[in-house]
Structure 1
Amino acid sequence: MTEQKTEEHENFDVQAFNNQVIAEFRENGGKLTGWMEGWSVCVLTTTGARTGEPRQTPLGYFEINGQPLVVASAMGGPKNPSWYHNIRKNPRVTVETGAETYEATATIETGERRDELFAAVAAQNEGMRDYQRRTTRVLPVVTLHRTTRASTQDKETEERARGLGDFLVEVHAWLRKELADLLRQVDEIIAGNLSSTELERAKPDLAHQLRTHCAEFCAALKQHHTGEDRGAFPMLAQQYPELAPTLEKLGREHEVVARLQEEIRHLVDEYEPGKSDPKTLKNRLETLTQHLEAHFTHEETTIVTALNTLGPAPNIP
């Protein structure tokens, strides 16, 4: 690239240009005039990597074998555009095409997959070929995986089909309820011990109920996390390499939860009405609750959207 072209890129007011294109795009139902006339364009809304605020960018919009994608061309500039850095931190995006708007997860393609997709784009669009010639960087290709059904300007937004991510949230809700029930049972035991040992003896099956409930809860939680570690997480890592650090952290959290489960199971199995201290058991259950709540919240804010792209929720009665 010549010094003159480098200077042109440095002096170019990208934000003013983007605002003008977005205004025309929305006024004309996705159509543009001038040198961009005839281009297929979208407005991509990302979340600012540093600010956390929504950022809107007009981009060339392509579909290769039914797969929507955009290219981080920056018009052949020497650096990747800001929106590209945004999706590296948060891949959840909104896509406007003029005819429809939908939520999506952005995936940065690499290797042969990236090269094949870019070759297909370049075959359709001479401008993208020119942009690649202008710069020494490899223009990133970003595929867009829908997480909601499209909403058009001519009809109301349709309800999104339940996906695997939605199912995950439902499982978390059930586990939260079961854990709350366990705590209530322990509170009953504590109330009995504090008022009278005779009240505890009047409920000889309460400790047995607690053991049964705890065993069911711990088994369900273990099955849930094993399914994630062996099924959902490997699929996500393959589809969304940028989620690898998040998935590794979630896996480590599973290990912490597993140790707490074993401790609680031991306390429940060894519990003897009138002899054991139920307050110790309650303390450990509350610790597990805190860890699980933080873990569930982390999963729900980081991987639910991506999980929804992998398939529909299982049909469990």
Structure 2
Amino acid sequence: MHTRLTAFGNQLIEVHVWLRGQLEDLRDDVDAYFAGDGLLPRDLRAHCLSFCSALTRHHTGEDRIAFPEIAEEFPELRPVITQLRTDHNRIDWILGALDKLLTGLPDEPDPADRARVVAELDGLSAIMETHFTYEEKKLITVLNGMDLPAWRAERPDFLLSDED
């Protein structure tokens, strides 16, 4: 029997830890910008786009690759997958709102913008945390038990970080 170095569920947790760290880095950059000693808005937006792209790639990979496999093998988890996909849509909406806010920031920080940007980051952080926790609770054991040679041969997008 061939064993994986790291089970798929554990790899998912690693990606979630990495994405949490990326969001924290973005939050730090936003705080620095509003303190007047951070990135210019275009660089802040580029950082946001990089994070948003990674999060979107992760969720799109789950929707297209992981969830169909799980639903096929474990039909009782279909309601869980539906909830997770709903979360993905909510997260996409928040990412769009955050991008729009960051695109409109002036070179000089305006304190009036801070509350709106921080509110979007807080909302994103809250939904990401509840989403990741729920997903890990419901799917890690299932993913760790799955043996998909194609995933071993080439890690699917939902199991990749930009460090891979």
State the distance in 2 between where 1:266 and 1:228 align: 25
Query: Where do 5+ consecutive residues of structure 2 fail to align?
Result: none
Shift of 1:272: 1.1
Give a deviation string over 1:104-132, Cα, whole Å, max 9, x none. xxxxxxxxxxxxxxxxxxxxxxxxxxxxx
Bigger RCO of structures 1 and 2 (CA < 8 A, at least 6 apart): 2
In the other structure, the counterpart of 1:253 is: 87
Shift of 1:255: 0.8
The one-letter amino acid paired with 2:121 is L
In the other structure, the counterpart of 2:142 is: 306
Shift of 1:275: 5.8
State the distance in 2 between where 1:278 and 1:236 align: 41
State the distance in 2 between where 1:222 and 1:278 align: 24
Computing the radius of gyration from Cα coordinates, the structure with the larger value is: 1
State the distance in 1 between where 2:105 and 2:143 align: 40
In the other structure, the counterpart of 2:10 is: 166
Give a deviation string over 1:148-187, Cα, whole Å, max 9, x none. x8xxxxxxxxxx8412111111111111000001111111
Structure with higher strand content: 1
Shift of 1:280: 1.4
Q: Choose which of 253, 259, 262 in structure 1 pairs with 2:96.
A: 262
Q: Quick check: 1:189–1:278 contact (8 Å CA) kept in 2?
A: no
State the distance in 1 between where 2:42 and 2:87 align: 30
State the distance in 2 between where 1:209 and 1:301 align: 36
In the other structure, the counterpart of 1:56 is: none
Alignment of 1:175-186 (within 5 A): 175-186=19-30
Please give the secondary structure, in 1, of the residue aligned with 2:108: coil
Shift of 1:310: 2.3
Q: Quick check: 1:190–1:279 contact (8 Å CA) kept in 2?
A: no
State the distance in 2 between where 1:256 and 1:262 align: 10
Give a deviation string over 1:248-270, Cα, whole Å, max 9, x none. 11111111111001000111111
State the distance in 1 between where 2:93 and 2:51 align: 15
Shift of 1:220: 0.6
Q: What RMSD in Å do the two structures reach over aligned CA positions?
A: 2.1
The answer as to 2:58 corresponding to 1:224 is yes
Give a deviation string over 1:54-91, Cα, whole Å, max 9, x none. xxxxxxxxxxxxxxxxxxxxxxxxxxxxxxxxxxxxxx
Please give the secondary structure, in 1, of the residue aligned with 2:42: helix
Q: Quick check: 1:236–1:243 contact (8 Å CA) kept in 2?
A: yes
Give a deviation string over 1:254-298, Cα, whole Å, max 9, x none. 111110010001111111133641231112111100110000000
**Of 213-222 and 307-316, the range deviating more from structure 2:** 307-316
In the other structure, the counterpart of 1:293 is: 129
Alignment of 1:65-214 (within 5 A): 161-192=5-36, 205-214=39-48
| TM-score normalised by length of structure 2 | 0.82
Q: Quick check: 1:207–1:271 contact (8 Å CA) kept in 2?
A: yes
Give a deviation string over 1:178-204, Cα, whole Å, max 9, x none. 000111111112222xxxxxxx5xx6x
State the distance in 1 between where 2:67 and 2:131 align: 15
The answer as to 2:128 corresponding to 1:280 is no
Query: Where do 5+ consecutive residues of structure 1 fail to align?
Result: 1-148, 150-159, 193-199
Structure 1 residues 179 and 243, CA gap change in structure 2 (3 angstroms): same
Shift of 1:209: 2.2
| TM-score normalised by length of structure 1 | 0.44
